[in-house]
Amino acid sequence: MLYFYFFSFFIVSQEVNQRYIDLARRAADDLKRGLLQVLLEEIGKGGYQNAISVCSDMAQEITKKYYQEKYNLYIRRVSEKPRNKLNSPDQYELEILKKLDKMNKDGKLPKEYFELVKEGERKYLRYFSPIVIQPMCLPCHGEEKLLSDEIKSFLKRRYPEDKAIGYREGDFRGAVSIKIELKEE
Ligand code: HEC
């Protein structure tokens, strides 16, 4: 299901929109796939304990160095309850995350969500690809009783202000957020 809101008055042809939307979709899927692959590989190599330290070292770098540069656009993961403060949403993203969380609670989470917004004279596509908690996320994001002592002490050391635990399967965790400036053709 697609949601399409016009915040201000302007018209961009459907054809142009679709091209940007396809690009955002491709980048979001790619980032999700890339991070999941690293996670699974590292769990395979040395369990969750190994994976958490690798993800902690690499998640930011993979997102920035690889995906931002590869697609040359604003792309990041954001959450209302971030583990890493660098993944805190901006004001606009926070509103959307709240909306998506509610949709998820109502059983109506879309696969993607986007809006065209205007900032001053510039127009942007803001695209969100929701992230939902699966069973394999729980050893690092689940309720405290599901976390091993090693994971808990790692989190305490590395992320003293961690907010990203206490989740259950199916909970809305956050989103890949993409912002692309729409240029006149
Ligand atoms: C091995 C432990 C581990 C597992 C398993 C894990 N994560 Fe994480 N997750 C982390 C760490 C560590 C970070 C912080 C990365 C950083 O510093 O940017 C993180 C950050 C995130 C973020 C970015 C927002 C934030 O809180 O900083 C999202 C979204 C996320 N995880 C979703 C998931 C989902 C969904 C799953 C399951 C598919 C999952 N994680 C599985 C350790 C894990």
pLDDT, one tens digit per residue, over 27-38 is 999 999 999 999
Indicate if ligand 1 lies below 6 Å from the C-beta of 151. no
Taking residues 144-161, report their average pLDDT: 97
Question: Rounded to an integer, what distance in angstroms lies between the CA atom of residue 149 and that of residue 145?
Answer: 10
Ligand 1 pocket member 164 (CB < 6 A): yes
Nearest to 55, CA basis, from 72, 70, 77, 74: 77
Q: Is the pLDDT of residue 185 over 80?
A: no
75: phi then psi, degrees, rounded to nearest 5: -145, 130
Calculate the average pLDDT of the chain.
Answer: 90
- Residue 182: name the closest of 140, 121, 138 by CA: 121
pLDDT at 5: 46
Confidence of residue 69 (pLDDT cuts 50, 70, 90): confident
Among 173, 176, 177, the mutation site with the greatest number of ligand 1 atoms within 8 A of its Cβ is: 173
Question: What's the rounded Cα separation, in Å, for the pair 28 and 32?
Answer: 6
Please tell me the predicted confidence (pLDDT) of residue 10.
Answer: 47
Q: Give pLDDT tens digits for 107-131.
A: 999 999 999 998 899 999 999 999 9
Q: What is the dihedral of CA 34, 40, 44, 48, to 10 degrees?
A: 120
Mean pLDDT, to the nearest integer, of 102-108? 98
Longest Cα separation, the chain: 56
